[in-house]
Amino acid sequence: MKRILPVASLVLFICLVSFSQKNINEKKPIYLDPKETVEKRVADLLARMTLDEKVSQMDQYVGLEHMRSAEKDLTAEDLKNNTARGFYPGIMASDVEKMTIEGKIGSFLHVLTAEEANQLQRLALKSRLKIPLLIGIDAIHGNAQVSGSTVYPTNIGMASTFDPSLVEISSRETALEMRATGSQWTFNPNVEVARDPRWGRVGETFGEDPYLVSLMGVAAVKGYQGSDFTGTDKVLACVKHFIGGSQPANGTNGAPADISERTLREIFFPSFIAATKAGAFTYMTSHNELNGVPCHTNSWLMKDVLRKEWGFKGFIVSDWMDIEHVSDLHHTAENNKEAFFQSVDAGMDMHMHGPDFHEKIVQLVKEGRLSEERINESVSKILEAKFKLGLFENPFVDIKASKTILFNKKHQATALDASRKSIVLLKNTGILPLDASKFKNVFVTGPNADNQTIMGDWALPQPEENIITVLEGLRRVSPRTSFSFLDQGWNIRKMDPAKVKQAGELAKKADLAIVVVGDYSLRNNWNDKTNGEDMDRSDIALAGLQQELVENIYNSGTPTIVVLVSGKPLGVEWIADKVPALVESWEPGAFGGQAIAEILYGKVNPSAKLPISIPRHVGHIQEVYNHKPSMYFHPYAIGESTSLFPFGYGLSYTSYKYDNLKLSKETIGDKETITVSVDVTNAGKMDGEEITQLYIRDEFSSATRPVKELKDFTRVALKAGETKKVKFELPASKLAFYDKNMKWVVEPGNFKIMVGSSSLDKDLKVANLLVR
């Protein structure tokens, strides 16, 4: 008997056959095919996107947990001046989740757990086109805001190593830990050239010298991105802050920068150029105005210099709410809409962060003030990054696997090595290295002696077992020594006068006192910080009662060693004059306490050199080694005119001797290269590493030149009594500068070639070179 299907079943059957045939005939979208080129995938996806979806890729929001935390602690009024924490009044976390599902957010920042990163990516995959999120974080010296991460020394300490390879290795390890916890974009390296120690962000930089900053910045970019950031084990580097924020008018973050084009090109641009050539894919503009124009709307910087002159191919992100500040702070736009227009029109590609931007940019396109093609330029670069990072194929984190990556043994070893090489011995009358048999009872105190502030800024509290404080390090390294400790509390702003006085009395009972002072930078106690982002000071003296603490202990008559823990130079002239030993540890990271103790007890021979000059006090600002010849034509009427400790300076437990400085040629043309050689001898009794530095001086030029310029350096390992011949290749191109007509040239004439252990004249051997 023949069966006849009901009409409804027949219709359903036809629909299913039709749907199946459609699926067979329809190809997989190009943008979802990993076998296609990135260029084709970007073009295909861009063609499928609506204007709303495109602009959404240009907008970033803070993470959900960050929002919830900030809502508890901040008022809407607080948000106006806070550049570290944020939420959106009237917008709940659930609203942001809905926006993510709708594809209205392209990026997040400050997502601190793998679980939250996975949650956000799951939401994004529910959107129409399933475009994954790009998650950024300030992983400045390790991913130190994420619990359980490896914390390396801050950048200023890494610069003290004069070891770019170590920066590259630590950056590579940071990239692995970031990807393991759900972030793919670090807002680092900060390649600003630091020129004012009042500025709280000095510790984020690699110091005052353009050449040193350039090499360290390049190393960081290579570590984060590799030769190409394609793959699931790389992260985007973000070169910042473009530009001038490191020489603010009054030393405060975001203050105006009034800098000549000559100084920009000679001092500030080189490190940015080097990072661009190294392939950095993202840039961040600076909070400040530059010569009257906010950097966030400066088309000369973003278009003419960065893209046209330097050939930058990536995308530019704003800093924290700084496009809005064009209107409410700089007053060069009458409202946010006009500020958004000015910024995007000038070359901005992504907004950090929050609502209003999306709506206003869409309006501006519909009104014809911004073209959709201009939007496509920005979005194509953002999508390119997402494709290359492998986010379309694998946006999620394997939480179980991440536990084997964070703080693993290899990363710990790198962090300890970096700490050891970053600590600068500033003064030693012979008391160091410590003899444990002589100093059996040691008194330890100071606000930085036994807490996690050794990690520095851009860090949140880590598991106690992952951090070795100075006190813990001392007890580990010298277990037979009796260490007594008086806790001064971590809060430098609220030190107890009674305890400060008590320290002097307790010091009398000890054979030796170790006082650990400096600054407090941890972000979890924001209002109590004395250093770091937005913690600029009108003075560079020790904050709180720390100076009184040191003086009380010194006056006890007990030999006193002072260890500084700070991200910037401090004016400690009295201490440097009085105490027998002074150590600058900067912010040495998770293993800082161990490294400090190893150096104090001679287990490690200190090798670090200062990447920045240390002024005597705030009245010495600006204090840089590469100043112009007329800087001290008239010395100060009262007090010294020299720095307290100069760039490139650092002591060792051995002594090094320089001999036989030679040039392979004494006369060269402007296209030639010479070899500079010098014999370096370890003249002491302890093995060590010396950082040999090469400087030049153009003796006569059409425009004034610095008295010294660093042009090369190298680390030299020497056994006690050993001599090595150190060689540098010096091309004539390293003698070039901007002449009086602002042309980049090598002028004929005489040059001094100086090689030695620091930028001090007495530490340098000199040879003469003629360029014909």
Nearest Cα to Cα of residue 402 among 117, 162, 54, 700? 117
Strands of the sheet with 581-584, listed across from one edge: 424-428, 581-584, 560-565, 512-518, 441-445, 482-486
Strands of the sheet with 656-663, listed across from one edge: 656-663, 673-682, 723-731
Q: Phi then psi for 636, rounded to 5 degrees? A: -60, 140
The DSSP H or E segment spanning 261 is helix 261-263
Task: Please give the model's pTM, rounded to 2 decimal places.
Answer: 0.94
The answer for residues whose C-beta is within 8 angstroms of residue 539's C-beta and 6 or more apart is 198, 571, 617, 618
The answer for residues whose C-beta is within 8 angstroms of residue 107's C-beta and 6 or more apart is 57, 59, 60, 61, 133, 134, 135, 136, 185, 350, 382
- What pLDDT was estimated at residue 87? 76
CB atoms within 10 A of CB 246: 26
- What pLDDT was estimated at residue 88? 86
Q: Phi then psi for 763, rounded to 5 degrees? A: -95, 5
- Give SS3 for 481: coil
> Amino acid identity of 16?
L
Low-confidence stretches of the chain (pLDDT beneath 50)? 1-25
The DSSP H or E segment spanning 185 is strand 185-186
Gap between the Cα atoms of 59 and 68, Å rounded: 20
Exposed / middle / buried, residue 385 (Cβ in 10 Å: 0-12, 13-18, 19+): buried
Q: Beta 764-771 vs 667-668: how paired, if at all?
A: parallel
- What pLDDT was estimated at residue 430? 97
- The region, left, alpha or beta by phi > 0 then psi within -120 to 50, assigned to residue 228 is beta
Give the Cα-Cα-Cα angle 199, 149, 144 (nearest 5 degrees): 15
- What pLDDT was estimated at residue 83? 65
Gap between the Cα atoms of 446 and 444, Å rounded: 7
Place of tokens 């749907």: 19
Q: Which residues of 212-228 are buried (b: 16+ CB within 10 A; e: fewer)?
A: bbbbbbbbbbbbbbbee
The answer for residues whose C-beta is within 8 angstroms of residue 253's C-beta and 6 or more apart is 83, 199, 200, 201, 245, 287, 533, 534, 536
The answer for residues whose C-beta is within 8 angstroms of residue 5's C-beta and 6 or more apart is 13
Asked if 321 contacts 354 with a C-beta cutoff of 8 angstroms, the reply is yes
- What pLDDT was estimated at residue 86? 75
Gap between the Cα atoms of 353 and 75, Å rounded: 18
Q: Phi then psi for 441, rounded to 5 degrees? A: -115, 110
CB atoms within 10 A of CB 410: 12
Asked if 120 contacts 184 with a C-beta cutoff of 8 angstroms, the reply is no
3-class SS string, 199-239: CCCHHHCCCCCHHHHHHHHHHHHHHHHCCCCCCCCCCECEE
- Give SS3 for 682: strand
Within 13 Å of residue 435, how many CA atoms lie on the same side as its CB?
A: 5
Instruction: Dump pLDDT digits (tens) for 347-370.
Output: 999 999 999 999 999 999 999 999
